[in-house]
Amino acid sequence: MMNYSEPPPGGAGQAVQAQALTVVRGTREVLRGLDFTVPRGQITGLLGPSGCGKSTLMRAIVGTQAKVTGTLDVLGHPAGHATLRTRIGYVTQAPSVYDDLTVRQNLAYFAAILDPGRAAAERRHENVTRAIADVDLTTRADALAGNLSGGQRSRVSLAVALLGTPELLVLDEPTVGLDPVLRRDLWALFHTIAATRGATLLISSHVMDEAERCHRLLLMRDGELLADDTPDALRTRTATETVEAAFLHLVDEAKKSTTKKEQTQ
Ligand SMILES: Nc1ncnc2c1ncn2[C@@H]1O[C@H](COP(=O)(O)OP(=O)(O)OP(=O)(O)O)[C@@H](O)[C@H]1O
Ligand SMILES: [Mg+2]
């Protein structure tokens, strides 16, 4: 089996650096003082149960989240900086693919938003063709998106995010609802993108076995980070066999320390 803990060479430095990152939604603090880094050129998994704040954190990184405080640097700029627009590819949890357009038409539409003007037509055409090839949909390029399988639709969304040749890809639960074979294929594609383009990928999931496929992990629970480590180091530190068991171990430890704090207050 491939050892995913071994990061690819190169890609030094940090793609994302956060210090005391806090986000308020409504009246609640949904992210509470997070400190973490996302190294360049690697796949970092953002794992945690539903409602723990994964999408909120991703929105903060891509600059679409309000009420963010603390420090959040992305590719050397404060999150949301104008120059980051074309350097980040973002696929939301409910990606927008138009069913009544073909794969190529969908891509052409988003390419025109990203890189408008008649002069850019040839470059757009090349970018669209390349992005379709990257996600292995060349033979389905002229099929209507509405006639694709779930896995193929996910790959169209991914192709949209790949259009601008982004240095950082932020993918919010890209494998949700896919069968094990499609999930495996998509993870292989993520590794190809990281290895061949030197891109940084931040991928969220609440399926713990996907954690084993990442170079690094951010484990979240209830707006806080339980761990920022490699899968190997996590398993060793918690004396467990799987990342899922390590996560449960850390949840229990966090509960114990909260109870202790409450008792001493
Ligand atoms: N518009 C909002 N106003 C107030 N609270 C919100 C709003 N949107 C989300 N929240 C809360 O923020 C918290 C984090 O939500 P978020 O969507 O980031 O979680 P998530 O980890 O992505 O969950 P899932 O795995 O279900 O996608 C949740 O408790 C949610 O109820
Ligand atoms: Mg979410």
What integer is the mean pLDDT of 222-246?
Answer: 95
Nearest atom (ligand 1) to Cα of 27:
4
- Ligand 1 contact, 92 CB (< 6 A): no
pLDDT digits (tens, 9 = 90+) for 33-68: 999 999 999 999 999 999 999 999 999 999 999 999
Query: Is this structure's pTM higher than 0.85?
Result: yes
Pocket test for ligand 1, best of 46, 47, 56, 64 (most atoms within 8 A of CB): 56
Q: pLDDT tens digit string along 64-80?
A: 999 999 999 999 999 99
**Closest ligand 1 atom to 52 CA:** 21
Tell me, using a 6 A CB cutoff, whether residue 93 lines ligand 1. yes
What is the pLDDT, as a whole number, of residue 2? 43
d(CA 174, CA 192): 16
Q: Tally Cβ neighbours within 10 Å of residue 217.
A: 26
Q: Is the pLDDT of residue 147 over 60?
A: yes
Q: How is residue 189 written in tokens? A: 């594609």
Strand partners, 15: none
Average pLDDT, the chain: 90
3-state secondary structure of 215: coil
**What is the average pLDDT across 79-107?**
92
Atom 12, ligand 1: residue with shortest CA distance: 30
Greater pLDDT, 83 or 206 = 83
Collapse the DSSP code of 55 into the 3-class scheme (helix H, G, I; strand E, B; otherwise coil) and give the result: helix
Average pLDDT over residues 167-179: 90
Q: Residue 4 pLDDT more than 70? A: no
Over residues 70-94, the mean pLDDT reads 93
User: Is 91's pLDDT higher than 60?
Assistant: yes
Distance of CA 182 to the CA centre of its chain: 17
> What per-residue confidence (pLDDT) applies to 12?
57
Q: Which residue has the higher pLDDT, 6 or 95?
A: 95
Q: Residue 265 — very low, low, confident or very high, per pLDDT cuts 50/70/90?
A: low
* 197 CB within 6 A, ligand 1: no
Ligand 1 atom with minimal separation from the 58 CA: 18
- Tell me how far apart the alpha carbons of residues 87 and 17 are, in angstroms, rounded to a whole number: 16
Kindly give the distance from the C-alpha atom of residue 91 to the centroid of ligand 1, in angstroms, as a whole number. 17
pLDDT in tens, 125-137: 999 999 999 888 9
Determine the Cα–Cα distance for residues 229 and 192; give it in Å rounded to an integer: 22
Q: Are the CB atoms for 94 and 165 separated by under 8 Å?
A: no
Q: What residues have their beta carbon closer than 5 A to ion ligand 2?
A: 54-55, 93
Amino acid at 206: H
- Give the residues across from 46 on adjacent strands: 204, 218
